[in-house]
């Protein structure tokens, strides 16, 4: 493979006007930061929505403090607004928060750096990807200010409900932009990793993070088009009177619905989950990648079973395309279909177990440093473990009969994404902040951020398993108050809500830390963590547009820590082991 030649140098970019340099930039680092800042703001926004909803769940029909006046209804969170906030919480957290942060921000910033490339393969496509995401985000936020308000049919948008509820049109238009953004980004990531690796950086010398981003990009590229098509079909159902997802003979509020009919509500679910299950791995794989980096660095030893982890990630990627209908066992599925999807679901648990086990085993024999990034990465392991394990009963159709659409499901996927992925993303921010700014974040504030976050995350999500076992349905405006079977577990609602609000407070040290450290953090050099991968060869922050003074030559695998008979306990990839 021909390595990319640096055809331009930083000199020619020195006099860029502000707008070219920071707004419509084509530098992957600026775009990465744009993605990072935007997605963190969206994460915060999506989190605030749930904080409001949790008030209604803890204290049903009491006026919401602080923001109550914005909600109408005398400050009480009405059911229709509750449904809107629920749909938007899911949409924003997944499509505007976690994925753009994991892929758009970390992927963009660190893929070229870790593979020793001057930029992404298609810088302008990269810019287009960010702005498409931005427009999608503006549309989604804008929907709060429309007369009908935002979508209220859940982030899953099942028709016929989504076909007839208000607010859905604008959601679909927003989704088209977000999907387009992901498609543009994924092509870029794939091309960059295939074409722009530094000389000597063979596939099995790639950092685990790169592998995870590589597989993730394929998932986005191949899984999103069906949803984009489905979104356009649903848009047509709503706007031009088609009936792709509407069967004949619907009666809504006593009136026959004037549509041609003949469509299938289940078609949407298949198209939706064909994306949305791989999407789960889009959320988790980059997180595993970050955790792998941080663990290797802070145990001061190579990742254990690197190869099995790589094969595991690739296998996960393949399998993630054939498990989607395990979300649909309760739709009336026959034995053949359900057996197939149960089997694939059990199979996909194996590579996850292999990867997670490899990371646990990597700790053995290490010389473990407990800095803030490492704390978040370590916490990821058992938290993701809980999230993954609680997926097992949901993947068995028989057990799913009782647990489907209950709080057990909510607990399960939040363990995967919140104390799982989001912790990994925090680990990434603390770990790579010095590379992005040349300064370290405060360790004290970091620990003040980590410990309460860990406690309150569990305070929120652990009781959900209890409520789910009791059979409490999800998406209930009153949190189950209406139902007798919920009466024994209702007391947890207040506990979970208080935990959620405290989790909000626990983010204050993080926000202060980021803002404070940009200007006042401890100044550091190129490689403050004494790491081995290529991003640490570049200056901190890396040079605009070209990253490296000289494209590095790679000599060995990514995590050569504590190589026997060497003085230093780390050997960067661009340093030969035998001189």
Pick out residues in 251-270 that bind other proteins (CB under 8 A): 251-254, 256, 261, 263-266
Cβ count within 10 A of residue 18: 7
Q: How many whole angstroms from its chain centre is CA 109?
A: 16
Rounded Cα distance, 176 and 229, in Å: 9
Specify which residues 547 forms β-bridges with: 543
Burial of 535 (0-12, 13-18, 19+ CB in 10 A): buried
Q: Which stretch, 318-326, 402-410, 441-449, 543-551, contacts other proteins (CB under 8 A)?
A: 402-410
Among 397, 441, 551, 554, interactor with other proteins by CB under 8 A? 397
Among 25, 180, 342, 531, interactor with other proteins by CB under 8 A? 342
CB-nearer residue toward other proteins: 19 or 484:
484
CB-nearer residue toward other proteins: 213 or 467:
467
Structure tokens at 321: 């395309």
Q: How many whole angstroms from its chain centre is CA 252?
A: 37
Among 94, 403, 454, 551, interactor with other proteins by CB under 8 A? 403
The phi-psi region of residue 249 (left if phi > 0; otherwise alpha if psi is between -120 and 50; otherwise beta) is: left
For residues 406 to 445, the per-residue mask of contacts with other proteins, x marking binding by CB under 8 A and - elsewhere, is x---------------------------------------
CB-nearer residue toward other proteins: 123 or 154:
154
Among 23, 70, 138, 392, interactor with other proteins by CB under 8 A? 392
Q: Which stretch, 115-123, 149-157, 509-517, 550-558, contacts other proteins (CB under 8 A)?
A: 149-157
Closest distance of CB 356 from other proteins, Å? 7
SS3 543: strand
Among 95, 477, 510, 548, interactor with other proteins by CB under 8 A? 477
- Does 344 bind other proteins (CB under 8 A)? Our answer is no
Asked if 125 and 193 count as a contact pair (C-beta separation under 8 A), the reply is: no
Residues 6+ apart with CB under 8 A from 541: 29, 435, 436, 437, 438
Q: Which stretch, 73-81, 104-112, 504-512, 516-524, contacts other proteins (CB under 8 A)?
A: 73-81
Among 16, 405, 443, 575, interactor with other proteins by CB under 8 A? 405
Q: How many whole angstroms from its chain centre is CA 348?
A: 19
Sign of CA dihedral 395, 396, 399, 400: positive
- Does 577 bind other proteins (CB under 8 A)? Our answer is no
Q: How many whole angstroms from its chain centre is CA 112?
A: 20
The phi-psi region of residue 471 (left if phi > 0; otherwise alpha if psi is between -120 and 50; otherwise beta) is: left
Rounded Cα distance, 178 and 55, in Å: 30
Question: Which value, in Å, is the radius of gyration of the alpha carbons in the chain?
Answer: 24
Closest distance of CB 560 from other proteins, Å? 9
For residues 290 to 319, the per-residue mask of contacts with other proteins, x marking binding by CB under 8 A and - elsewhere, is ---------xxxx-xx--------------
**b (16+ CB within 10 A) / e for 132-147:** bbbbbbebbbebbeee
**Subset of 186-215 contacting other proteins (CB under 8 A):** none
What DSSP assignment string belongs to 443-456?
A: HHHHHHHHHHHHHH
Rounded Cα distance, 54 and 424, in Å: 25
CB-nearer residue toward other proteins: 396 or 498:
396
Among 196, 356, 441, 500, interactor with other proteins by CB under 8 A? 356
**Subset of 488-547 contacting other proteins (CB under 8 A):** 488-489
- Does 396 bind other proteins (CB under 8 A)? Our answer is yes
Among 79, 504, 541, 544, interactor with other proteins by CB under 8 A? 79
- Residue 279 to residues 222, 297, 323, Cα–Cα distance (Å): 11, 28, 12
Closest distance of CB 452 from other proteins, Å? 20
For residues 160 to 189, the per-residue mask of contacts with other proteins, x marking binding by CB under 8 A and - elsewhere, is xx--xx------------------------
Among 37, 67, 138, 361, interactor with other proteins by CB under 8 A? 361
Q: Which stretch, 62-70, 281-289, 440-448, 556-564, contacts other proteins (CB under 8 A)?
A: 556-564
CB-nearer residue toward other proteins: 32 or 480:
480
Among 8, 307, 369, 550, interactor with other proteins by CB under 8 A? 369
Asked if 464 and 54 count as a contact pair (C-beta separation under 8 A), the reply is: no
The phi-psi region of residue 256 (left if phi > 0; otherwise alpha if psi is between -120 and 50; otherwise beta) is: beta
Among 29, 54, 89, 152, interactor with other proteins by CB under 8 A? 152
- Does 343 bind other proteins (CB under 8 A)? Our answer is yes
Structure tokens at 358: 């490899």
CB-nearer residue toward other proteins: 106 or 415:
415
Among 206, 271, 354, 534, interactor with other proteins by CB under 8 A? 354
Among 202, 248, 260, 520, interactor with other proteins by CB under 8 A? 248
Alpha helix (H) ranges present in 390-442? 391-395, 397-403, 407-416, 423-437
**b (16+ CB within 10 A) / e for 436-445:** bbbbbbbeeb
Rounded Cα distance, 312 and 537, in Å: 29
CB-nearer residue toward other proteins: 24 or 360:
360
Rounded Cα distance, 183 and 190, in Å: 11
CB-nearer residue toward other proteins: 235 or 378:
378
By CB under 8 A, the count of residues binding other proteins is: 106
Among 9, 69, 260, 339, interactor with other proteins by CB under 8 A? 339
SS3 112: helix
Closest distance of CB 171 from other proteins, Å? 14
For residues 455 to 474, the per-residue mask of contacts with other proteins, x marking binding by CB under 8 A and - elsewhere, is ----------xxxxxxx-xx
Among 364, 519, 567, 578, interactor with other proteins by CB under 8 A? 364
């Amino acid at each position: 493979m021909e390595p990319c030649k640096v055809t331009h140098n930083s000199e020619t970019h020195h006099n860029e006007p502000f707008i070219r340099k920071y707004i419509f930039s084509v530098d992957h680092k600026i775009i990465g930061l744009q993605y990072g800042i935007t997605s963190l703001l969206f994460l915060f926004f999506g989190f605030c929505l749930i904080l409001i909803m949790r008030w209604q769940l803890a204290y049903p029909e009491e006026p919401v403090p602080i923001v109550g006046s914005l909600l109408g209804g005398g400050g009480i969170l009405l059911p229709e607004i509750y449904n809107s906030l629920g749909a938007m919480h899911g949409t924003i957290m997944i499509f505007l928060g976690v994925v753009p942060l994991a892929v758009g921000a970390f992927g963009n910033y660190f893929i070229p750096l870790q593979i020793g490339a001057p930029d992404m393969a298609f810088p302008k496509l990269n810019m287009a990807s960010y702005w498409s995401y931005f427009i999608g985000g503006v549309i989604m936020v804008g929907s709060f200010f429309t007369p009908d308000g935002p979508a209220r049919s859940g982030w899953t948008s099942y028709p016929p409900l989504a076909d007839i509820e208000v607010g859905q049109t604008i959601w679909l238009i927003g989704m088209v932009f977000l999907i387009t953004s992901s498609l543009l980004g994924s092509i870029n990531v794939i091309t960059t990793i295939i074409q722009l690796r530094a000389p000597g950086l063979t596939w099995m010398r790639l950092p685990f993070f790169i592998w995870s981003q590589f597989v993730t990009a394929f998932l986005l590229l191949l899984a999103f088009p069906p949803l984009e098509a489905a979104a356009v079909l649903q848009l047509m159902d709503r706007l031009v009177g088609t009936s792709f997802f509407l069967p004949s003979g619907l009666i809504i509020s006593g009136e026959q619905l004037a549509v041609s009919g003949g469509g299938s509500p289940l078609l949407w679910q298949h198209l939706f989950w064909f994306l949305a299950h791989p999407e789960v791995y889009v959320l988790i794989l980059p997180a595993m990648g970050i955790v792998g980096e941080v663990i290797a660095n802070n145990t001061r030893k190579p990742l254990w079973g690197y190869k099995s982890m790589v094969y595991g990630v690739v296998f996960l990627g393949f399998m993630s395309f054939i498990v989607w209908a395990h979300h649909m066992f309760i739709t009336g599925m026959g034995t053949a279909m359900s057996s197939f999807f149960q089997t694939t679901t059990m199979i996909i648990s194996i590579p996850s177990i292999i990867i997670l086990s490899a990371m646990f085993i990597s700790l053995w024999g290490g010389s473990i440093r407990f800095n803030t990034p490492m704390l978040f990465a370590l916490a990821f392991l058992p938290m993701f473990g809980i999230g993954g394990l609680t997926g097992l009963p949901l993947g068995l159709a028989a057990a799913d009969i009782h647990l489907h659409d209950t709080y057990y499901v909510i607990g399960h996927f939040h363990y995967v994404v919140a104390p799982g992925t989001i912790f990994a993303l925090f680990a990434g921010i603390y770990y790579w902040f010095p590379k992005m700014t040349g300064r370290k974040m405060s360790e004290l504030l970091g620990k003040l951020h980590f410990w309460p976050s860990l406690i309150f995350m569990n305070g929120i999500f652990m009781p959900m398993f209890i409520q789910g076992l009791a059979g409490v349905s999800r998406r209930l405006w009153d949190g189950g108050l209406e139902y007798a079977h919920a009466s024994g577990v209702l007391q947890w609602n207040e506990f979970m809500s208080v935990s959620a609000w405290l989790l909000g407070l626990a983010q204050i040290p993080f926000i202060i830390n980021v803002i404070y450290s940009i200007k006042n953090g401890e100044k550091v050099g190129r490689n403050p963590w004494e790491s081995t991968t290529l991003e640490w060869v570049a200056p901190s922050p890396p040079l605009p547009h070209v990253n490296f003074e000289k494209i590095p030559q790679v000599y060995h695998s990514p995590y050569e820590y504590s190589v026997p008979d060497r003085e230093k306990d780390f050997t960067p990839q661009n340093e030969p082991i035998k001189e």
